[in-house]
Every structure is written in C-alpha cells, then in structure tokens.
Amino acid sequence: GHESDWRAANTIDYQTTFTEENGYELLFVDADNDHTAQMEAVRNFIQQEVDYIVICPVQEAGWEVVLEEAQDAGIPVIIADRTVSADPALYTTFLGTDTALEGETAGLWLAEYLDGAEANILVIEGSVGASAAIGRTNGFNKIAEQHEEWTILDSQSGDFTQAGGQQVMESYLKSYSDFNVLVCQNDNEAYGAMDAMDAAGVTYGVDGDVIIISFDATKEGLTRTLDGRINCNVECNPLQAAGVEDIIAKIIAGEEIPAV
Ligand code: GZL
C-alpha cells in the first residue's frame, strides 16, 4: 500500500535492496491496502514462476488458499511486517515487529506518566483486520485492564491514514468532551487527529489537555514528539528488506529457517 510514511519507507527499503545491481529482478505490486488485490498479485507471481514471494499482508485472515497454491508451485513465501492467521506450515517464515509488545509498551508508558491519575481514553485503530492493529490494541488493553482508573471510551479504525485519523477524531469530538488520552495506532492518524483538534480548539501534548500516544516514530512523528505535540511515540522499524534478503540467502544455502 501507500497508506502511511512508514509504508513508504518500507517500500523504498525493498526497492533499494532488491536492485538489479544487487543481483535481483524485483516485481513490486502496490495493492492499495486491498486484500483481494494482494491475492491477485500473488497469483500473478505464481503464474510468472518467480523464485520467491514476499507478502506484507493488509489483513491476517483469508490467506490459506493462495498460500497453498504458492506451496504447490514450489515457491517459498516470506510473510513480512504483518502476520497471517494461516497455518505457519503454509509459508517459509515471518519477519516483522511484535506489535502486541508495542501496544504493551504504550500502556506501560501511560501508567508511569499518569502515576495513578484517571484516564478517559479514545483510540484510533489501524486498518481493520491488520495484525498490527490487532496486536497494538490487544497489547495496550492488556495494561489498561490492570487500571480500574482508566476507561476506554471508544475505539474506531482510521485505516492507518491521515485522512482516517482526522475523520475519526472529528466524529469523536462531536461525541466526547471528557477525554484526556488519545491513542493513535500510527503517526499519520495522529497528524489527522491533531488537525481535527486544532480546528476544534482542543489542546494536546506535554502542554495540552490531551495526552497523545502514537506508533511508528517516523521522522515527522519523532519531530512532533521531540517538540512535545506527541507525548509518547512507540518505535516500529520499517527497514525490513535486509532481513528478508538474509532469509533468501539462507534458503539458497539450504539452511534451516526459523518459523519467526
Ligand atoms: C506496522 C505496519 C503498520 C504501520 C503503519 O508493522 O504494518 O502499517 O504502523 C503502516 O504506519 O501503515
């Protein structure tokens, strides 16, 4: 896709790693955050008899059939960035971050920052069905459940986009006036939410009324964290192509590949 700055960095990383001068022919498809388009792209790769297929799955569900087709065609599949719910026997390995740990990290940071104070929390989730959104939600909720002084008022998807973050925040501002924490599951959603709060005169950040927690720690996200507009930004490294390249080298060398 091209939903976020993180995704753009991830894409550039693949395109600058799997180059002709490095000995590769890269067939790259931007499926525009669409699961059906991703499955179609994988089927086309199988038809073209590629050597390896790398999938950054928009959603975790619905991959069993096309993974079986790739396996039947004898093409190793590497699942990258987000996980799939399919049986791990259907693909070579997964390489990506632990988004549940990222969610927990955000919760633990908030607990320390609030030091027992009450929290009325709004959440802008990532794309529906994406393991990154599910992981961050579950991880954060694991900590939230330990704090009876915290209330999660609402949790809706902003699809990891700036427009989505703004739309959800505009809707929240119509329904909620007593929130003091906003969790955005990526930086681009946070930028959109900030635009909405600016327009409504709601203050945020270290000197504002609303604590903002974000994920990705992109360059712009870090800038807004360092200047205090975002209170906490949980890192998620988009530079995964070298790890994928290592896995391919191991496959070529006939080495054992760990499942994760
Ligand atoms: C996380 C990745 C997420 C980023 C978003 O591993 O899947 O997708 O957090 C991106 O910015 O859209």
pLDDT tens digits along 83-119: 999 999 999 999 999 999 999 999 999 999 999 999 9
Task: Give the per-residue pLDDT at 211.
Answer: 99
Q: Average model confidence (pLDDT) for the chain? A: 98
Q: Which residues pair with 234 in a beta bridge?
A: 215
Residues with Cβ < 8 Å from 14, sequence gap 6 or more? 26, 28, 54, 241, 244
Residue 218: pLDDT over 90 = yes
Measured CA to CA, the distance from residue 161 to residue 166 in angstroms comes to 9
Distance from the CA of 16 to the center of ligand 1, in angstroms?
A: 19
What average pLDDT does range 239-247 have in this prediction? 97
Mean pLDDT along residues 23-32 = 98
Atom of ligand 1 nearest to the CA of 187: 11
User: Which protein residues are within 6 Å of ligand 1, measured from CB?
Assistant: 3-4, 6-7, 81-82, 96-97, 99, 132, 160, 186, 215-216, 236
Pocket test for ligand 1, best of 55, 160, 233, 244 (most atoms within 8 A of CB): 160
Note whether 237 and 72 are within 8 A (CB): no
3-class DSSP state of 232:
strand
Residue 161 CA, closest ligand 1 atom number: 12
Average pLDDT over residues 126-137: 98
Ligand 1 centroid distance, CA of 181 (Å): 21
**How far apart are the C-alpha atoms of 157 and 154, rounded to whole Å?**
10
pLDDT tens-digit readout, 150-180: 999 999 999 999 999 999 999 999 999 999 9
The pLDDT confidence band at residue 59, using thresholds 50, 70 and 90, is very high
57 — pLDDT class (breaks 50, 70, 90): very high
The Cα–Cα gap between 50 and 203 comes to 52
At residue 43 the predicted structure's pLDDT band, cuts being 50, 70 and 90, is very high
CB contact burial 161-189 (16+ within 10 A = b; e otherwise):
bbebbbbbbbebbeeeeebbbbbbbbbbb
The whole-number pLDDT of residue 260 equals: 83
Band (pLDDT 50/70/90 cuts) for residue 35 is very high
Confidence of residue 44 (pLDDT cuts 50, 70, 90): very high
Q: How confident is the model at residue 258 (pLDDT cuts 50, 70, 90)?
A: confident
